[in-house]
């Protein structure tokens, strides 16, 4: 978030550039501006900011693109209408991507609108209405296949969860969570029971890929860490929020579940109301009983929510329980961006 003085400095810096580039665009937009063109710039500038390894790009209204002369803009004078652009853009982009912030500044008595556009997330190119855009110097056009693949392959090169936390040690892990992890590991490899039981704690954690050469990773903190160890992954957050709603959508209760997540899964499972109901199969006269939810399905959905959460976005995993449904959501994404992209 920029303060007024910082915005004036930033605007002066942008105007002092000899020409536009892949991450800065000026438009006069004296009275209005076409929404489709605006969306194309959001896609293009965010993708180029990602490729240039900068945190943000800028689209500025009220300044000529040639010479950067100040002309002022009356684009969406109503503040509510201006800020509503965040939702309008989010509705037309993948991942509901939108502006980091929209600012208005007054310079020499003229109004300037400054759109701060964050870089596209690692591994996720941003499209507008299904088309990915990029920039070649000052020209905006569909993103070339080489650039598109360069962004998509970033997730292969960067694994946030495997990052080693130098200051953390085994003392920062929850002993009962480690014991539970050993039990689950033995269940997976029952034929190697004697060998696994002979491993030291350090060897077990290495074999389970929770540590790297004895060093604690973010994965180890998320799955096995003591609740007070969450600060090791700051500013990321690792919590599950369970909320129970009635038929009208009113809240009946909630709970926040903290690390270690390997125990959090079981804790959440115990909160969910699994009832027995009776039904008569079409080919039988006798009723049968079934659980409301299958145990495996719940655990699988929750495990996937934890595994595919984008912890850098700082959001929680949410589980909403209604009388007839369970909804799981997180801040992750379906690589490479959406199910539709995979199908294509």
- Average pLDDT of the segment spanning 302-324: 88
Asked whether the beta carbons of 268 and 240 are under 8 A apart, the reply is yes
Q: Is the separation of the CB atoms in 75 and 81 below 8 Å?
A: no
Q: What is the average pLDDT across 17-44? A: 92
Residues with Cβ within 8 Å of 92's Cβ and at least 6 positions away in sequence, in order, are: 39, 128, 129
What are 25's two structure tokens? 């665009």
Tell me how far apart the alpha carbons of residues 72 and 85 are, in angstroms, rounded to a whole number.
Answer: 19
CB atoms within 10 A of CB 273: 10
Asked if 232 and 179 count as a contact pair (C-beta separation under 8 A), the reply is no
* pTM score of the predicted model: 0.54
H or E element at residue 261: helix 261-271
CB distance 163 to 218 below 8 Å:
yes
Beta pairing class for 325-329 and 317-322: antiparallel
pLDDT reading at 164 higher than 70: yes
Scanning 159-217, the segments in alpha helix (DSSP H) are: 175-188, 193-197, 201-207
How does residue 65 score in pLDDT terms, banded at 50, 70 and 90?
confident
Name the residue with higher pLDDT: 280 or 233: 233
* Residue scoring higher pLDDT (172 or 309): 172
CB burial readout 226-257, b (16+ within 10 A) else e? beebbebbeebbbbbbbbbbeeeeeeeeeeeb
> 216-274, pLDDT tens digit by residue?
999 999 999 999 999 999 888 899 999 999 999 999 999 999 999 999 999 999 999 88
pLDDT tens, 315-335? 899 999 999 899 999 886 555
DSSP E strands: which ranges in the chain? 24-27, 56-61, 101-107, 110-118, 127-128, 131-136, 139-142, 211-212, 215-216, 240-245, 251-257, 276-279, 288-291, 317-322, 325-329
Higher-confidence residue of 123 and 276: namely: 123
Handedness of CA 58, 61, 64, 68 (dihedral sign): negative
Higher pLDDT, 298 or 291: 298
State yes or no: pLDDT of 66 exceeds 70: yes
Q: Tell me the pLDDT of the chain averaged across its residues.
A: 90
Quote the CA–CA distance of 134 and 49 in Å, as a whole number: 10
Q: 121-143 pLDDT, tens per residue?
A: 989 999 999 999 999 877 899 99
């Amino acid at each position: 978030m920029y303060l007024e003085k910082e915005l004036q400095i930033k605007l002066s810096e942008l105007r002092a550039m000899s020409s536009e580039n892949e991450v800065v665009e000026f438009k006069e937009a004296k009275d209005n501006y076409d929404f489709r063109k605006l969306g194309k710039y959001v896609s293009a500038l965010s993708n180029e900011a990602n490729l240039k390894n900068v945190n943000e790009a800028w689209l500025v209204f009220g300044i000529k693109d040639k010479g950067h002369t100040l002309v002022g803009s009356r684009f969406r004078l109503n503040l509510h209408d201006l800020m509503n652009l965040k939702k309008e853009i989010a509705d037309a982009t993948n991942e509901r991507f939108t502006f980091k912030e929209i600012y208005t500044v007054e310079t020499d008595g003229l109004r300037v609108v400054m759109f701060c556009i964050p870089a596209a997330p690692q591994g996720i190119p941003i499209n507008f209405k299904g088309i990915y855009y990029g920039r070649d110097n000052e020209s905006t056009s569909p993103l070339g296949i080489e650039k598109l693949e360069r962004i998509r392959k970033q997730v292969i090169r960067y694994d946030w969860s495997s990052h080693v936390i130098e200051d953390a040690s085994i003392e920062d892990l929850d002993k009962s969570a480690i014991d539970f992890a050993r039990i689950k590991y033995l269940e997976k490899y029952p034929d190697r029971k004697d060998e696994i039981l002979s491993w030291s704690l350090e060897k077990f954690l290495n074999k389970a890929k929770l540590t790297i050469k004895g060093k604690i990773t973010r994965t180890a903190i998320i799955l096995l860490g003591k609740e007070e160890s969450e600060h090791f992954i700051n500013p990321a957050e690792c919590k599950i929020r369970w909320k129970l709603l009635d038929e009208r959508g009113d809240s009946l209760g909630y709970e926040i579940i903290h690390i270690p997540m390997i125990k959090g899964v079981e804790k959440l499972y115990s909160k969910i109301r699994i009832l027995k109901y009776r039904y008569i199969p079409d080919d039988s006269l006798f009723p049968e009983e079934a659980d409301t939810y299958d145990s495996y399905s719940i655990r699988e959905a929750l495990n996937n929510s934890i595994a595919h959460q984008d912890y850098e976005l700082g959001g929680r995993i949410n589980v909403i329980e209604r009388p007839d449904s369970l909804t799981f959501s997180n801040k992750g994404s379906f690589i490479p961006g959406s199910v539709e992209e995979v199908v294509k």
